Structure 1
Amino acid sequence: MGATTFLALGDSYTIGEGVAEEGRWPVQLAARLRERGIAVDAPRIVATTGWTTDELSSAMDAGALSPGYGLVTLLIGVNNQYRGRPATEYREQFRELLLRAVELASDPRRVVVISIPDWGVTTFAEGRDREAIGRDIDTFNAIAHDETLRMRTRWVDVTATSRDAGAKPGMLVNDGLHPSAAQYVMWTRSILPEAKAAVGP
């Protein structure tokens, strides 16, 4: 058997805005899986800073993705929240993205959904209503979690980690908003068990 193919779908958090390629959590995750004897290809990352659910969907159309991936991850929604998009729209578009992810993996158990981190705790959010941002993030995550359970895919919560890391030294890149490679190490630690289960026999 060949190496497991890995597709990572998302936005700035998946492309790793502000970090070197090896610091991105999908790249870290593939490395951790290989350390455990699981052959995994370098991840194909379909993600760009600023993307909303509909923009990711359009990029997937343009990318001409085909089924057969052994692992698919999905982390999307922070820009819907940031732009003030309605939660009802997010549910509809997220559900469609998750359906597409399942089709690309050919098995819901090979799909891992990662929660949206809380940017309200970052230095970038200074002067904004941090509590309101947190409530919005919780609402969007509740929707994503609900759809994840409904679709029988896998769920990983990194929101708590993002809130704990906050704006602690070394946890953000220079923009004061996006996680550093060090914070992505913590995310990867949380994602790894579900990823291992997804690619296991």
Structure 2
Amino acid sequence: MKARFLVIIIVLMVFVQCSSDDNSKKDAKAIRLRYLALGDSYTKGQGVCNSCRFPEQLKDSLTQNFRPFDIFTSTLIAETGWTTTQLKTAIASRNQNLKYDFVTLLIGVNNQYQNLPFSTYETEFPQLIEEAILAVDGNRNRVFVLSIPDYAYTPFGQGNSNSPQISTEIDQYNAFTQNYCESNNIQFLDITSLSRTGLTNPELIASDGLHLSTQAYSRITSLILPYVKNLID
């Protein structure tokens, strides 16, 4: 009789605990985070699988760091070869009023690669920043700008006779970007230094010999993740 009574007590305790856990989940407010990734081939993840690019890795990392019922979604507006002009056009064509919780912006390498006037970037990069700020309802603390990687430090770049000039021009773009971001209280994250280890660390370069690899995107994800978590906290 005592043994049967003890079993009943244990069953009741487990039932109460499970009910309490279920109620806690119902009472807890789920985090819903919407992420907008703006850019070119480096954001699209040219040369790697769709789940390997940094926006997807970032979304997956957030999912792993929070509760099972929290929801993280991402929207990608990025294509290989896009310049600032093409990204602006793509954003305008979406004609969407949906607001996001944070935005990443990585653009400019194709302006340099296509030898466009630097003045185009000087004009259009700030316009893209304004679009990004608008997407997060005016909160510039939720905009994260990534520096342009240096493709001179890839097998493709080394095959170019003017690889030193590539680096010099990339520096010019990044200097403008960093100065603009710092002057406007926007977070600027350096990934150029990582890309410049591509020749000594070939695992950071995708199989196409030009773009970044899954491992490189993992490092970029690790760089961005603390900032996003801080927003949530």
| TM exceeding 0.5 | yes
Quickly say closer, same or farther: Cα 1:137–1:22, change in 2 above 3 A.
same
> Aligned-pair distance for 1:169?
3.2
> Aligned-pair distance for 1:125?
1.2
Q: Residue 156 of structure 1 aligns with which residue?
A: 189
> Aligned-pair distance for 1:40?
4.9
Secondary structure in 2 matching 1:49? coil
Secondary structure in 1 matching 2:124? helix
Q: Residue 66 of structure 2 aligns with which residue?
A: 37
Secondary structure in 2 matching 1:179? coil
Q: Is residue 2:48 matched to residue 1:19? A: yes
* Residues 151-171 of structure 1: per-residue CA shift (max 9 Å, x gap): 212111000011123363322
Whole-Å Cα distance in 2 between the matches of residues 67 and 42 of structure 1? 13
Q: Residue 129 of structure 2 aligns with which residue?
A: 98
* Residues 90-110 of structure 1: per-residue CA shift (max 9 Å, x gap): 011000000110011120001
Equivalences for 1:1-201 in 2 at 5 Å?
Answer: 2-37=31-66, 39-106=70-137, 107-128=139-160, 129-166=162-199, 168-197=201-230, 199-201=231-233
State the structure with more CA Rg: 2
Structure scoring higher RCO (CA < 8 A, sep ≥ 6) equals 1
Secondary structure in 2 matching 1:42? strand
- Give the alignment's TM-score, normalised by structure 2: 0.81
Quickly say closer, same or farther: Cα 1:33–1:166, change in 2 above 3 A.
farther
> Aligned-pair distance for 1:194?
2.3
Identical counterparts, % of pairs: 36
Q: CA RMSD in A?
A: 1.6
Q: Is the 8 A contact 2:34 2:100 kept in 1?
A: yes
Q: Is the 8 A contact 1:156 1:194 kept in 2?
A: no
- Consecutive unaligned residues of structure 1, counting only runs of 5 or more, are none
Q: Choose between structure 1 and 2: higher helix proportion.
A: 2
* Residues 113-167 of structure 1: per-residue CA shift (max 9 Å, x gap): 0110000110011232221111111110111112212321211100001112336
Q: Is the 8 A contact 1:119 1:177 kept in 2?
A: yes
- Give the alignment's TM-score, normalised by structure 1: 0.93
- Consecutive unaligned residues of structure 2, counting only runs of 5 or more, are 1-29
Secondary structure in 2 matching 1:84? coil
Between the two proteins, the alignment pairs up a number of residues equal to 200
* Residues 76-99 of structure 1: per-residue CA shift (max 9 Å, x gap): 000000011122220110000001
Whole-Å Cα distance in 2 between the matches of residues 110 and 77 of structure 1? 20
Whole-Å Cα distance in 2 between the matches of residues 167 and 20 of structure 1? 23
Amino acid at match of 2:194: T
